[in-house]
Structures are given as structure tokens and as C-alpha cells.
Amino acid sequence: MEKFLFVLNRGLEDPVRATRALQLAKVAKEKGHEVNIFLVDDAVAYAIIGLADSVVAPTGDNAKQYLDYLIEKKVTFHLCTPCARTRLFGEDQFIEGAKLSTASVLIDLAAESKVFTF
């Protein structure tokens, strides 16, 4: 199986990109691939409990349905540390499987994975 890294940098203001990134991560996981998600900039909001609950794309897909699946399957959500701290998000607010990470971790993950960016 392959390793996939999904990098999302758009926040709640862009439900299309976020929902599609999470949907494709779900499909990759369903196919048995290793999946990591790295959230940078405004996308760190997706790792905060409840913030994605009302994010719906024009297609009717909602971010929560994909997040719930990925959480259930123990996919790791890496959050850009300075991005989360600047927005005053604390680890006690994170969804299960989310953790603070650095640019160095992002580069390491990218070096060994097929990368999708949204």
C-alpha cells in the first residue's frame, strides 16, 4: 500500500477544498493506504472539536462525515504549531488524533508520501 499526505491550508471559509481533501483522505484510507493529514494556516480550525460540524460543500458533502470516519480510523491530524498557537487553539480543544507538528515533520512526511494539497 501507499502513503498519502493531504495538506490543507484553507479554513472554514472554503468548504469545497476542505470537504474534498477530507473525502479523498477517506477514500485512500478505505482502500487500505496509510493516510496523514497536515493542517496549516486557517485549516487548523478543522481539528477543533465542533468547528467543522456545519461545513457543507455545494455538492451536499459535509466535512463532519469525513472527519468522523478519519477519527474512527485513527488517522493522524498534524497541526502547524505556530498556526494553532496564533489562533489560540489549545490541545484540550483538539479532535482525537490531532497533534501539534512542525514544518520539519511536514517535510519528512512529504518526502515519503504522495502529496495532495488543498
- Residue 19's CATH number: 3.40.1260.10
Contact 114, 1 (CB under 8 A): no
The pTM score is 0.95
Phi-psi region of 96 (alpha: psi -120 to 50; beta: other; left: phi over 0): beta
pLDDT at 62: 93
Distance of CA 87 to the CA centre of its chain: 16
The domain of 24 spans 3-117
Dmax (CA) for the chain in angstroms is 37
Low-confidence stretches of the chain (pLDDT beneath 70): none
76, three cell numbers: 493522524
Domain count, the chain: 1
